[in-house]
Amino acid sequence: MNDLIRMLVEAYGPSGFEDGIREIIRPLVEPHVDEVRVDAMGNLIAFKRAAGGQANPHKVMIAAHMDEIGVMVSHITEKGFLRFTNIGGVFSHTLMGGRVRFEDGTLGVIGSDRIDDRSAIHPLSKHFIDVGATSREDCPVRVGQAANFDRPFEARGRHLTAKSMDDRIGCVVAIEALRHLPADIAHDLYFVFSVQEEVGTRGAEVAANGIMPDVSIALDVTLTGDVPEARPMDVSLGSGPAIKVKDSGMISHPGLVRLMRRRAEEAGITYQMEVLDGGSTDARAMQLAGPGSVAGCISIPCRYVHSPSETVDAEDVAGAVALLVALLTGDMEL
């Protein structure tokens, strides 16, 4: 699975600029579904029809977002340095000395304005990107171009580290589940690789309003409470996928939470329960679409979220795949 993870996490795809990562994912899912399409927002929607003879099958939407956080050039100085704004949740304390890469391959190094108090942190507006230019005229980048953070995938035993586990690892879980699903599924499955989640779950909202699912399942990362001075949270790296109960944007359907727990226990899958103080996922958008849907989320525990070194555990990823397959192959009686 590491080769697939590496392919996805090292790809370019900030929110609003997902064309490249979509073209990587599309041929990976096409052999396993009945239909693939791209909607006006850029969501990749892979449809797997229920096996013949199923009366009124449930419409189940599974969403993993393709986009990642990044930056966008807002101004170029006379000497060719780039001022930038954020795309999604970019934190100032992760920036200094970091590297970004533009879609055309141009590499930039992040610096900051002079700061006398070394214990202080500049806001984003006091940072700049150095692409090696000497003037505005010879700068290879233009205002409005986007970049992602540039870090290679690293496997350190079971711990896997990269710049965009959020949420390429959810995409990996979706792709692997499609590969392992049996042919006789009782539900109509819509695997959505969504866009612009990091800037407001916009892609999933559009897709869900088009699909009108009965049941919705997001696949995304969540925080952990197992590092020094972490906010108290009963999710740890390596202790299994997490079943979301609540986050700041939604409360999961209790019946779907019970069903996930039951499927995990029947299959012998170790799992955790997630209550997240801040942040939300595509599940919120799907829950509220149209007349509403039964919504929940399978979360992959992740350390250092929204940094260039997001870290997951390989066994948690495998457990998330197994849980999703177990959930989709059974009945959806809640």
For residue 109 the two structure tokens come to 């190094």
Q: Which 8-state DSSP code applies to residue 291? A: T
| Catalytic-labelled residue, pool 197, 198, 205, 274 | 197
CA–CA distance from 128 to each of 60, 96, 246 (Å)? 44, 9, 37
- Hey, which bits of 66-214 come out as E strands? 70-76, 82-87, 99-102, 107-112, 127-130, 146-149, 154-156, 159-162, 188-194
Distance of CA 86 to the CA centre of its chain: 17
Has 266 been annotated as catalytic? no
Nearest residue to 237 via CA among 329, 170, 311? 311
Q: Tell me how far apart the alpha carbons of residues 41 and 19 are, in angstroms, rounded to a whole number.
A: 11
Let me know: does 252 contact 283? Beta carbons within 8 Å.
Answer: yes
For residue 240 the two structure tokens come to 């299994």
For residue 162 the two structure tokens come to 């990269």
Q: Is 245 left (phi over 0), alpha (psi -120 to 50) or beta?
A: alpha
Q: Tell me how far apart the alpha carbons of residues 187 and 216 are, in angstroms, rounded to a whole number.
A: 12
For residue 147 the two structure tokens come to 């970049």
Q: Which 8-state DSSP code applies to residue 89? A: S
The three-class DSSP label of residue 257 is helix
- Residues annotated catalytic, as ranges: 197
